[in-house]
Structure 1
Amino acid sequence: MKTQKLKILFFGMTAEASGCRELQTDCLPTTGDLQKTLLEKFPLLKTQNFTLAVNEQVVNHGLHPLEAGDEIALLPPFSGG
């Protein structure tokens, strides 16, 4: 049976701002809903620039649909070449 939760992974500055590296939360309809929930739960994330990846695929908008069992990563900007 597939989990009814989303797995959230925090990297770099997003981990520092949230105070955690991993979190499970109830499934939400879209990445926009998830981002709103995360910003409410972790206000310091509002000061961070990050990209969302769903199941290791970067998504470009807040309307990307989510399904139970998805893994979401909050990726900070990376420097270097």
Structure 2
Amino acid sequence: MNNFLSSALTAADAFLCVLVVIAACDYLRKVRPIDQPLLSAAFYMVAIGAFGAFVTAIQGHWVNPFGVMLHAGVVAYAWARRAHVFG
């Protein structure tokens, strides 16, 4: 049962990391880095970090449940603010 839970967390984290990368890249597509350099740098770091977390999750490293919660929070924030970003 514990192995199943670990595999489920790894799969959920990998999926959420992909969503975070997509959301960050989509935001960066809409924003000019010259206009908002700090926010753009933050989203670049989020995209790079989420991609790195995705790679480590795929390689089979142990997934921290709080990291999964963090990625879920970023995805929820991006989903809730999508009208503001694309408006």
TM-score range, shorter chain: under 0.3
TM-score (structure 1 length as normaliser): 0.27
Which has more helix, going by share of residues?
2
Which has more strand, going by share of residues?
1
TM-score (structure 2 length as normaliser): 0.25
**Bigger radius of gyration, 1 or 2?**
2
